[in-house]
Amino acid sequence: MLLGVDVGGTFTDAALLTSHGDLVTAKAPTTPDDQSRGALDAVEAVLARAGAEAGGVTRFVHGMTVGTNALLEGRVARTALLATEGFTDLEELGRQARAELYRLCVGRPPPLVGADLRVAVPERSGPDGVIRELDEDGLRSALVPLAEPGDDGPLEAAAVCLLWGFRHSGHEQRCEELIAEVLGAEIHVSTSHATAGVFREYERCATTVVDAALSPPTRRYLERLAERAHDCGLPAPEVMLSGGGVVDAATAARHGSWTVLSGPAGGAVGAAHRARAAEAPDAVCLDMGGTSCDVSVTLGGAVATAGEREVGGRALALPMVDVHTVGAGGGSIAWCDTGGALRVGPHSAGAEPGPACYGRGGEQPTVTDANLALGLLDADSPLAGGVALDLAAAERVLGRLAEQLGLGSVEQTAAGIVRVASAEMAGAVRVMTVERGIDPRELALLTFGGAGPLHATTIAEELGVTRVVVPRASGVLSALGMVVSERRRDLVESVLLAGPAMTREAIAEVVGGLAGRGREELAHGVSADADGGPDPGAEPEVRVTYDLRYRGQAFELGVPGEPEPDPAELRRAYDTAHAERYGYADPEAELELVTVRVAVALPGSEPRAGALGVREAAGSRPAHLGGERVEATVHRGAIDRVEGPAVVELPEATLAVPPGWAGGAREDGTVVLERDEAERA
């Protein structure tokens, strides 16, 4: 059996693929003080629902937010930075670029490494090799003061980022050895060539610092999780990486930065999987959970990835799923600003105390409270995870907000909250589509997360999208993404080839070296799975992306290609990509290959078709749909056909179907809705 567990802000989701190919799902409340407790609670729930034992699980894949939370909240390890003399302030200097050009006073997050923990390494390398040999005695002397504990405790980690270390790694490797010699082997060391082997000093330095600062707390969490899993009879956990692949826990513990988008990556992988299954390979995927909403795009059934991005204002030069996040989740708090306008988020009620309707002490109105007051959620039916809903508590906090806003009723206030939250999410979709030259009207909208299907049609109407796809397991789709995820290694090398040097042979040599390393690393930890996992004897798939630019440009575009590409084909592909992104191409400009990215992967598992279909009798209840109060038909479980106004109660999510929308379920339980032609007009 294959087990996937994803930790969210409010709930922890579990998906179990049985030996018969059936998919069983469950939820449990997230435990913010120690996510491993909530993870094992979800495991216990899904095993009980499946009537299975932990000993029957052969693979346990985990998605977490430990690294994300630690980075955003500043709860990181005390870390030193070793950089080439004259370049120790790289992390603090950063880049001049600003997200908002004319907001000159917007602050940046403080550096993770203070000036007192920055060590100047006496050495220097250039593009062609060593210019000045490493002064080992000088470095030893500089390291000695770091052995003394500071006000915030002893040193736990060190980041090593030397000039041209990505190409000539010898000095970085020797620095790692000297740190162990002087400060002790228990100090975690992140080297830039092993963490993010790409050029651009600031991005490589910032990534390495984040990696060093996050690895100790990530390691401690994974050790607790592994211990709890072992006590329960589960196998050692594997971890979802930010790029969408899975690695063993030891690798993830060594590189905490690789897991910063672990949870959203699982959702993107699961969404792409269900989009392909629903014959909607081109889709915008929207994951609305308890605290936030993540938007990704799937084109041709493949998850879009980026070579670098910022998380919490910190640059990370790592392969990551291309996700845009906004603070609009089920637990997002609705409030009245100083101008008397209704706002939603970005602050969230989280798992504790949660929305007011959870009855755990929450006293601020949230999106979930609004959906309950509108009749879209059933006050008499507990949410997945056993959370009972208190309608009176929701109406009480919504009533207070209605008075602040000067609105006439709780229902008006609740409807306004839903509209504002949906508009925020529609804006996030535009960032990932319209701002990148993609017309969302040509895509399907695939929504998931516990709250996503409630807002699906409202967001679709805002964007002009006419097809909505809702997987039956949408409430736990990130956990499903863990189950179907591929085992993968992502490797990268900056080559800076242009002109006559950019030949098929030169490129193939780089790709071959990276692919060989990937196969070797992938072979470790891959064991035979009796339940549909990858065959350890199978030949991994090699996928290559080439980061290209016109000579003189500052940034690149990634273009997929063959392992032994024809440079002329790369030229044509880049011209096309440049025209699509920027509206023009320059076929006369010299092309430069900056970075080669190689993914070596073994395929994931597949749930059995039809494994999700369960039907229950339908009823009806009053609900606010399509801007009016209506009597909505209620469907529970899988459906053959649904027409609005209706509410479809899936196992871990609820789908709202307003008038003018209709559709049905596919064999695997995925609901596909279409907007009526007359309504479009």
Summarize pLDDT for 73-119 with one digit per residue, the tens: 888 999 999 999 999 999 999 888 777 788 878 778 899 999 999 99
Rounded to an integer, the average pLDDT of 191-207 is 93
User: In the predicted model, is pLDDT for residue 292 greater than 50?
Assistant: yes
Among candidate residues 212, 233, 266, the one where a domain is terminated:
212
- Quickly state the pLDDT bin for 615 (edges 50, 70, 90): low
User: In the predicted model, is pLDDT for residue 493 greater than 80?
Assistant: yes
User: In the predicted model, is pLDDT for residue 598 greater than 50?
Assistant: yes
Are 111 and 201 in the same domain? yes
pLDDT of residue 277: 87
Say which residue, 640 or 611, is predicted with more confidence: 640
Q: Tell me which range, 181-195, 312-326, 533-547, 642-656, is most confidently predicted by mean pLDDT.
A: 181-195
The pLDDT tens digits of the residues spanning 633-650 come to: 998 866 788 887 999 888
User: In the predicted model, is pLDDT for residue 375 greater than 50?
Assistant: yes
User: In the predicted model, is pLDDT for residue 120 greater than 70?
Assistant: yes
- Quickly state the pLDDT bin for 616 (edges 50, 70, 90): low
Nearest by Cα to 262 from 285, 288, 240: 240
Helix (H) or strand (E) holding 5: strand 2-7
Chain centre distance of CA 589: 36
pLDDT of residue 529: 44
Rounded to an integer, the average pLDDT of 13-29 is 85
In angstroms, what CA-CA distances link 382 with 304, 378, 649? 36, 8, 11
CA-to-CA distance for 395 and 389, rounded, in angstroms?
12
pLDDT of residue 530: 39
For tokens 């889709």, the residue is 283
In angstroms, what CA-CA distances link 560 with 205, 374, 579, 599? 27, 47, 16, 11
CA-to-CA distance for 650 and 638, rounded, in angstroms?
7
User: Residue 660: left (phi > 0), alpha (psi -120 to 50), or beta?
Assistant: left
In angstroms, what CA-CA distances link 137 with 105, 123, 146, 179, 180? 43, 12, 15, 12, 14
Specify the 3-state DSSP secondary structure of 31: coil
How many domains is the chain partitioned into structurally?
Answer: 3
pLDDT of residue 638: 62
The answer to the question of residue 649 being in a domain is: no
- Quickly state the pLDDT bin for 614 (edges 50, 70, 90): very low
CA-to-CA distance for 402 and 582, rounded, in angstroms?
45
Are 92 and 205 in the same domain? yes
The answer to the question of residue 626 being in a domain is: no
| Widest CA span in the chain | 80
Among candidate residues 602, 635, 670, the one where a domain is terminated:
602
pLDDT of residue 532: 45
- Quickly state the pLDDT bin for 290 (edges 50, 70, 90): confident
pLDDT of residue 370: 94
DSSP notation for 53-121: -GGG--EEEEE--HHHHHHHHT----EEEEEETT-TTHHHH--S--SSTT-TTPPPPPPSS-GGGEEEE
Contact indicator for 348, 331 with CB cutoff of 8 Å: yes
Are 409 and 514 in the same domain? no
Q: What is the CATH number of the domain that holds 537?
A: 3.30.1490
Specify the 3-state DSSP secondary structure of 295: strand
The pLDDT tens digits of the residues spanning 532-578 come to: 455 555 788 999 999 999 998 988 999 999 999 999 999 999 999 99
CA-to-CA distance for 50 and 52, rounded, in angstroms?
5
Contact indicator for 119, 80 with CB cutoff of 8 Å: yes
Rounded to an integer, the average pLDDT of 416-433 is 93
Among candidate residues 565, 586, 602, the one where a domain is terminated:
602
187-191, 353-357, 441-445: the lowest-pLDDT one: 353-357
Are 382 and 500 in the same domain? no
Rounded to an integer, the average pLDDT of 217-231 is 94
Instruction: For 299, list phi and psi in degrees, rounded to 5.
Output: -120, 125
4-8, 338-342, 663-667: the lowest-pLDDT one: 663-667
Q: Which residues of 446-475 are buried (b: 16+ CB within 10 A; e: fewer)?
A: bbbbbbbbbbbbbbbbbbebbbbbbbbbbb
The answer to the question of residue 83 being in a domain is: yes
User: In the predicted model, is pLDDT for residue 183 greater than 50?
Assistant: yes
pLDDT of residue 676: 77
Q: Kindly state the tokens that stand for 563.
A: 């392992």
The answer to the question of residue 531 being in a domain is: yes
Are 96 and 201 in the same domain? yes
- Quickly state the pLDDT bin for 667 (edges 50, 70, 90): confident
The answer to the question of residue 163 being in a domain is: yes
CA-to-CA distance for 452 and 459, rounded, in angstroms?
10
pLDDT of residue 613: 45
182-191, 424-433, 617-626, 649-658: the lowest-pLDDT one: 617-626
Burial level of 573, CB count in 10 A (0-12/13-18/19+)? middle
Rounded to an integer, the average pLDDT of 583-598 is 93
37-46, 58-67, 200-209, 612-621: the lowest-pLDDT one: 612-621
Are 402 and 509 in the same domain? no
The pLDDT mean for the chain works out to 88
- Quickly state the pLDDT bin for 612 (edges 50, 70, 90): very low
Are 501 and 582 in the same domain? yes
Q: Say what percent of the chain tops pLDDT 90.
A: 56
Pairing between β-strand 118-121 and β-strand 79-84 as defined by DSSP bridges: parallel
pLDDT of residue 678: 55
Are 125 and 206 in the same domain? yes
The answer to the question of residue 575 being in a domain is: yes
Residue span of the structural domain in which 538 resides: 486-602
The answer to the question of residue 191 being in a domain is: yes
The pLDDT tens digits of the residues spanning 497-515 come to: 998 999 999 999 999 999 9
Q: Which residues of 15-40 are buried (b: 16+ CB within 10 A; e: fewer)?
A: bbbbeeeebbbbbbbbbbeebbbbbb
Helix (H) or strand (E) holding 649: strand 646-649
The answer to the question of residue 135 being in a domain is: yes
- Describe the strand order of the beta sheet including 615-625 as a list of residue ranges: 615-625, 628-637, 646-649, 654-657
pLDDT of residue 609: 52
Are 415 and 495 in the same domain? no
The residue type found at 370 is A
Are 101 and 206 in the same domain? yes
pLDDT of residue 71: 86
